[in-house]
Amino acid sequence: AGVRGALVGGVDASSNVGISHALGIDPKGTHAHSMVQAFGALGAGEIGAFRAYAEIYPDDCLLLVDTVNTLESGIPNAITVFEELRAKGHRPVGIRLDSGDLAHLALQAALAMNWAGFTDTTIVLSNQLDEMVIWQILSQIRTEAPKLGLEPTDVVNRLVFGVGTALITSQGAPALDGVYKLTAVKDGTEWKPAIKISETPGKTINPGTKNIWRLYDKREKATCDVLAMEDERLDQAAEIHLHHPVDFQIQRTLHREDLSRIERLNIDLPQSGPASPLADTLDTMRSRREHDLACLDDGVKRLVNPHLYHISLTRSLWDLKQKLVRERCKGAGK
Amino acid sequence: AGVRGALVGGVDASSNVGISHALGIDPKGTHAHSMVQAFGALGAGEIGAFRAYAEIYPDDCLLLVDTVNTLESGIPNAITVFEELRAKGHRPVGIRLDSGDLAHLALQAALAMNWAGFTDTTIVLSNQLDEMVIWQILSQIRTEAPKLGLEPTDVVNRLVFGVGTALITSQGAPALDGVYKLTAVKDGTEWKPAIKISETPGKTINPGTKNIWRLYDKREKATCDVLAMEDERLDQAAEIHLHHPVDFQIQRTLHREDLSRIERLNIDLPQSGPASPLADTLDTMRSRREHDLACLDDGVKRLVNPHLYHISLTRSLWDLKQKLVRERCKGAGK
């Protein structure tokens, strides 16, 4: 599920052979450090490992250069093997850096490979990457490349980022503390709204059977999502009164003429069959994800200090919530 | 696997019905908030929900008292139902607090239940508990109980802690970043040690085929674990020279007469059958865990600012590591 989610989210490929096979895509990767170690332990050295790999994969030759010493051994040995491949009419793919100061090493690798005439070989970076580390690496390359006579964009365009742990685990939020809550009870044919009051206002539930809507402003950007009672048709309202879910002071009114589009987000899900979004292909899901992301303002997508995207309640829902809380508090102790 | 691990680690029971059934133990828990909400939405109130539950579980009656208002509604209603149960000859189990200032509410609950003659009913605490929150709750109860005329130990002995998210997820360490590394290669019949050098000294591997030993001091407390070459018999050595895995300055020598016991930790694991530790019962594993923990010094078990437990290398292993690093660095660039 993690690999599938990453592919929908925008990665190009996975190094997991089994899952890639199951999903019908080509896995991507390099040989392991242990291959270089094994050749080293048996006396053939790093260059022996690189040659053996190049012999088997002459047209897919991506070499991991940090087993011994990246600058003094890995990159020179890789270039030697690349020259041997080129002499036989093959086109080497590139190198992978998996430790150390990745931006610095990528620039040194680009310099060395350019000098040997390999001006478009790929430079794969890996080692505990996440979005912040990648941001830092790109920033460092943009600063340092010109000092070495390199065009930053040329270097950046050669980079491939191999992200592992931070993508396939929930490192920043290890537990999703979601709870199913009762919001309504069917009494005969009628749904009766239910409430649970919490000392933490954000945990007091939003009662009743509801829909959720997304409102788009005139720029076609999503401006907020709105929880509404099931019988409210926000797409037919001339104006929409919004309430913050817990802070009674925060309210605003949106007018239909300021909105480009109103979309109901919850859909009735058939259990199976081609009509179900669960049956969509990876490509379809990826396109939908790209479109949804494009509808978000850049401000809410910033890595640091982003704007908060608002989830609001309609006035009807807010009023029902107040009413139920008041009734329940009145009834307490009886 | 999480529930099984928690049971080995020392919890008394799980609220997960399916897994408890699979492991052959009784699950423990209360009714849900939604039961009280449903009775509320249909007009029967919290007391109606409590009575319905007590009717079905008269001898296992544990009531969740924080759906409406713990002090003004939940605890008084629970005591009413407990009195009704007592009148019919049943013994109520207790209450569960799932929100708010748990230590304060537990003390108030103990006062109210004592006053009604329920002096040994259980008080279950839950809501995002972890070891630090539990420590804080116990500390607060020890401070505040005497001011209310309660004996702290009496209150603490009534408590049950329901720990969920923090126990069943890896909240403090969401990713275990382990890597299989090649440490030796079999060349014919001989194992040749392999090395991988990292810019981070702690990541440079410990080469060769090895054993791991645990040394116990005269108090029968584990003093350190030691990685040794496979042919070293630490249990027969008169003295053992230990090296820090990466810091060359940290060394010490232990004499056999200062040690009570030397245990080889790695065992040859049969794939299956009754001799395999994988076939041990939960009780056996739990006893082993209790014994292992008892062998650790209190200092390394502190929640805050603990002593570090040492993992050392023998001098033979340290020397081999130095030798291989030196050879590999000499060979770099060739």
Task: Find, among B160, B62, B29, the residue nearest to B106 by Cα.
Answer: B160
Contact B331 A185 (CB under 8 A): no
Domain endpoint, select from B139, B168, B197: B168
Contact A34 B177 (CB under 8 A): no
Q: Which residues of B touch A200 (CB under 8 A)?
A: 99
CA distance B215 to chain A (A): 32
Whether this model's ipTM surpasses 0.85 comes out as no
Burial (CB count <10 Å: 0-12, 13-18, 19+), residue A189 = exposed
One domain for residues A103 and A238 = no
Q: What's the total number of domains in chain B?
A: 2
CA distance B328 to chain A (A): 7
One domain for residues A191 and A228 = yes
Question: Is residue A176 included in any domain, yes or no?
Answer: no
Question: B125 phi and psi, to 5 degrees?
Answer: -110, 135
Question: Is residue B16 included in any domain, yes or no?
Answer: no
- What's the confidence (pLDDT) of residue B333? 45
One domain for residues B205 and B134 = no
Contact B185 A329 (CB under 8 A): no
Domain with A119, as residue range(s), is 31-168
DSSP lists the bridge partners of residue B259 as B217
Question: Is residue B289 included in any domain, yes or no?
Answer: yes
Task: Provide the residue count of chain A.
Answer: 334
**What string of H, E and C letters represents the secondary structure of chain A?**
CHHHHHHHHCCCCCCCHHHHHHHCCCCCCCCCHHHHHHHHHCCCHHHHHHHHHHHHCCCCCEEECCCCCHHHHHHHHHHHHHHHHHHCCCCCCEEEECCCCHHHHHHHHHHHHHHCCCCCCEEEEECCCCHHHHHHHHHHHHHHHHHHCCCHHHHHHHEEEECCHHHHCCCCCCCCCCCCCCCEEEECCEEEECCCCCCCHHHCCCCCCEEEEEEEECCCCEEEEEEEECCCCHHHCCEEEEECCCCCCCEEEEEHHHEEEEEECCCCCCCCCCCCHHHCCHHHHHHHHHHHHHCCCHHHHCCCCCCCCEEEEEHHHHHHHHHHHHHHHHHCCC
Contact B181 A41 (CB under 8 A): no
- Rounded CA-CA distance A52/A61 in Å is 11
Contact A182 B73 (CB under 8 A): no
One domain for residues B150 and B188 = no
- What's the confidence (pLDDT) of residue A53? 97
> What are B75-101's pLDDT values in tens digits?
999 999 999 999 999 999 999 999 999
Give the sign of the dihedral formed by CA A17, CA A18, CA A20, CA A21: positive
- What's the confidence (pLDDT) of residue A334? 42
Q: Which residue of A50, A66, A101, A328 to mutate against B (max B Cβ within 10 Å)?
A: A328
Q: Are strands B251-255 and B239-243 parallel, antiparallel or unpaired?
A: antiparallel
CA distance A3 to chain B (A): 16
Q: Which of B68, B175, B333 sits opposite A328 (nearest CB)?
A: B68
One domain for residues B227 and B306 = yes
CB pairs under 8 A between A and B: 138
HSE-up of B53 (CA within 13 Å, CB side)? 31
Question: Is residue B270 included in any domain, yes or no?
Answer: yes
One domain for residues B89 and B192 = no
Domain endpoint, select from B138, B168, B198: B168
Q: Which residues of B touch A199 (CB under 8 A)?
A: 99-100
CA distance B98 to chain A (A): 10
One domain for residues B225 and B117 = no
Q: Is residue B251 helix, strand or coil?
A: strand
One domain for residues A113 and A147 = yes
Measured distance between the N- and C-terminal CA atoms of chain A, rounded to whole angstroms = 49
- Contact predicate B65/B75, CB 8 Å: yes
CA distance A152 to chain B (A): 26
Task: Find, among A158, A171, A89, A79, the residue nearest to A128 by Cα.
Answer: A171
- What's the confidence (pLDDT) of residue B334? 42
Contact B33 A69 (CB under 8 A): no
- Rounded CA-CA distance B256/B68 in Å is 65
Contact A333 B198 (CB under 8 A): no
Q: Which residues of B touch A194 (CB under 8 A)?
A: 34, 37-38, 40-41
Q: Which residues of B touch A329 (CB under 8 A)?
A: 68-69
For chain A, the average pLDDT equals: 92
Task: Find, among B230, B192, B190, the residue nearest to B210 by Cα.
Answer: B230
A45 at B interface, C-beta within 8 A: yes
Question: Is residue B191 included in any domain, yes or no?
Answer: yes
Question: Is residue A65 included in any domain, yes or no?
Answer: yes
Divide the 334 residues of chain A into consecutive groups of 10 and give the mean pLDDT of each group. Answer: 90 93 91 93 94 97 95 97 98 96 97 96 96 96 96 97 91 84 91 85 89 96 96 93 91 94 87 70 92 94 92 95 85 50
Q: Are strands B259-264 and B210-217 parallel, antiparallel or unpaired?
A: antiparallel
- Contact predicate B55/A318, CB 8 Å: no
Task: Find, among A97, A106, A117, A115, the residue nearest to A145 by Cα.
Answer: A106
One domain for residues B292 and B267 = yes
One domain for residues B218 and B86 = no
The B residues from 155 to 214 touching A (CB cutoff 8 Å) are 165-166, 169-171, 174-175, 177, 180-182, 184-185, 187, 192-200, 203
Task: Find, among A308, A313, A280, the residue nearest to A296 by Cα.
Answer: A308
One domain for residues B189 and B327 = yes
CATH of the domain at B271: 3.20.140.10
- What's the confidence (pLDDT) of residue B297? 94
- What's the confidence (pLDDT) of residue B259? 95
- What's the confidence (pLDDT) of residue A269? 77
Q: Closest-CA residue in chain A for B182?
A: A34
CATH of the domain at B121: 3.20.20.70
Question: Is residue B157 included in any domain, yes or no?
Answer: yes
Question: Is residue A273 included in any domain, yes or no?
Answer: yes
Contact A328 B40 (CB under 8 A): yes
The B residues from 74 to 113 touching A (CB cutoff 8 Å) are 76, 99-100
- What's the confidence (pLDDT) of residue A333? 45
Q: Which residue of A102, A182, A186, A330 to mutate against B (max B Cβ within 10 Å)?
A: A182
- Residue whose token pair is 């994988």: B278
> What are B247-303's pLDDT values in tens digits?
888 999 999 999 999 999 998 877 666 667 777 888 999 999 999 999 999 999 999
Which residues in chain B come in under a pLDDT of 50?
A: 333-334
One domain for residues B205 and B293 = yes
Contact A165 B187 (CB under 8 A): no
